[in-house]
């Protein structure tokens, strides 16, 4: 595999991960659940 192909695959994978994270942050119930989980870790 060429270097250019590897860079393109890494860029595509990073883009998919970022889109997935931003999609989760757009859902208010997900943010509440995440905050509750983090709060539970420190109690």
Res 26: pLDDT: 86
pTM of the predicted model over 0.85: no
Res 38: pLDDT: 94
Res 25: pLDDT: 83
Backbone angles phi, psi at 26, to 5 degrees: -80, -10
pLDDT digits (tens, 9 = 90+) for 1-43: 899 999 999 999 999 999 998 888 888 898 899 899 999 998 8
Q: How many domains does the chain have?
A: 1
Print the domain residue range for 28. 3-41
């Amino acid at each position: 595999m060429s270097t250019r192909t590897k860079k393109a695959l890494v860029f595509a994978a990073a883009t998919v991960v970022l889109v997935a994270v931003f999609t989760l942050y757009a859902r208010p119930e997900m943010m509440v659940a995440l905050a509750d989980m983090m709060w539970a870790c420190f109690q």
